[in-house]
Structure 1
Amino acid sequence: MDTIINWFEIPVQDLERATAFYEAVFATEFRRESMSGMEMAIFPHTKPNPGGALLKSDAFKPAAQGTVVYLHAPDLAAMLERVVKAGGECVFGPQELPDDIGTFALIVDSEGNRLGLHQPV
């Protein structure tokens, strides 16, 4: 097993708004899917790498507390600028991590979810 991470879902209230936010921050496009009454916008990924999605469902609600997912940030400074322009908030960072692990920041997305962005060395 190369990684224990398989899939993640970020709950959203407004899928269009959230998709526009993440597409702007990551400068990419998401694929749309729906199944079992859930609407999703899928983060770009290639198999066998882990993937994830924005998820709109009555069973899941955005939250500012709880698990924090850290997403890869190839250019953290540029992404933090796009976070603010896209309607999000930078809570703190960028902050250097010890032992050449990289730099990270904590943000709040357009839906009120708290997420991390990590730029490896």
Structure 2
Amino acid sequence: MDNTVTWFEVATDDPDGAERFYGGMFGWNFTRDGGEVMDYRLIGHPGADQPAGGIFNTGGKFPAHAIFHVGVADVDAACAKAEELGGKVVTKVIDDGAGTDFAYLQDLAGSLFGVFHRRS
């Protein structure tokens, strides 16, 4: 559903450590889903039918963060709208190679959040 928080992400250069921490803390389970393009791990929780988030291995290329993502109809348009409203585009649109475009933005206070669109 567009314009709804539908995903969260924990980004780290230590995804194995994040799995141990969050798995131990909340009982979450993890499934690798990045293919050869990226090290991405889906996060599931007890009683859920589908994953609710992911762990993204930054490889040291992005700062560690935990953020929410909003599904949108058009990532480029969402980036333009954020700038129009005084926000900032932190990363331009990224194609994950698996059918999803995403970007990281900042609101007026500098808080990081993501927008994404699944093409398939």
Q: With structure 2 as the length reference, what TM-score do the two structures score? A: 0.46
Q: With structure 1 as the length reference, what TM-score do the two structures score? A: 0.45
